[in-house]
Amino acid sequence: MNKIANRQVICDTLMHLAKDNQDIIVLASDSRGSAAMGPFAEKYPNQFVEMGIAEQNLVGVAAGLAHSGKKPFITSPACFLSMRSIEQIKVDVAYSGTNVKLVGISGGVSYGALGMSHHSLQDIAVTRAIPGLAVMLPADRHETKKMTEALVHYDGGVYMRIGRNPVEDVYESDDYDFQIGKAVRLHEGTDATIIACGETVKVGLDACALLAQRGIRTRLVNMHTIKPLDTEEIIKAAKETGFIVTLEEHSIYGGLGAAVAETTSQHCPVPLKILGIPDEPPIAGKTAEVFNHYGISAGNVATIIEEGLRKEG
């Protein structure tokens, strides 16, 4: 089991890149500890800005820094960053076109028993509706590294969400081609497709293994970039496999499932099941417990696909 959290990987990657790129600036909202950015702040004090617990100012200041040629990376809890400062994200980042990277840490249900105030399950819905803002969720530590490196070279506003705890690897290493907006097929199959993002990609991978044992060949698409969306890969999945299940650590409204449905319904309608957190304050528990409770588990996904294929006959 991997012990390295994605936040740790972001810190390591930015520390490595900041050495030769003095424009990289990390901002925190009293969140350097939870973002694992303490080492960065110590090593590069002139490239670190503490903003205190003030998320609106946090994003506005980052936009001002970006306007002056800096490459700001905000690291702040996803629940506050994507809600308290959403108008600054819309206006100061997306509308003004500033090069701000918004890294939402401890996203989804990472904060577990802390309650709905600390969950971020609407962030994909709200950020992906904003013109000019890209939205991304890495699946594991290797993808987090690739994505962070890509963001340094990407000119424009991005919302990137990660979870709090280490997640199991879905990639064997970081030796693969990562492109913003280009989905990655992690398992080949023609009977059905699972499209997942973030920490649910591992659930999808385990479901593929279960289904393989039962003779069902399932395709797994890692949709690490929700916007700009790889619609081509979605349409291919619909045409070539005819049945899609989406997985996400997000409300069933407005997230990855909705984005996939918007695409398939207009280009190639196929049966689609959206698995995520239902429209209620989530149950308290650790991520795996919450996922299991709502059916975001390999077993449930395998059952849904088996039953779906049986219905199709």
Q: Per CB under 8 A, which of residues 22..51 are in contact with another protein?
A: 46, 49, 51
User: 159 - beta bridge partners?
Assistant: 102, 135
User: Which lies closer to another protein via its Cβ, residue 63 or residue 103?
Assistant: 63
User: Which lies closer to another protein via its Cβ, residue 9 or residue 66?
Assistant: 66
Calculate helix-pair angle for 6-18, 141-153, nearest 10 degrees: 40
- Smallest gap, in angstroms, from Cβ of residue 90 to another protein? 8
Q: Per CB under 8 A, which of residues 46..105 are in contact with another protein?
A: 46, 49, 51-52, 54, 56-57, 59-70, 87-88, 91-92, 95-98
- Residue of 267, 272, 266, 281 lying closest to 247 (CA atoms): 272
Q: Are strands 218-222 and 157-161 parallel, antiparallel or unpaired?
A: unpaired
Calculate helix-pair angle for 231-241, 256-267, nearest 10 degrees: 60
- Smallest gap, in angstroms, from Cβ of residue 122 to another protein? 20
CA distance 17 to 4: 19
- Smallest gap, in angstroms, from Cβ of residue 17 to another protein? 18
**27 close to 61: Cβ distance less than 8 angstroms:** yes
- Smallest gap, in angstroms, from Cβ of residue 79 to another protein? 18
User: Which lies closer to another protein via its Cβ, residue 54 or residue 210?
Assistant: 54
Is residue 157 at the binding interface for another protein, with CB under 8 A as the rule?
no
- Smallest gap, in angstroms, from Cβ of residue 67 to another protein? 6
CA distance 140 to 304: 25
Residue 273: CB atoms within 10 A of its CB come to 18
Q: Which residues bind another protein (CB under 8 A)?
A: 46, 49, 51-52, 54, 56-57, 59-70, 87-88, 91-92, 95-98
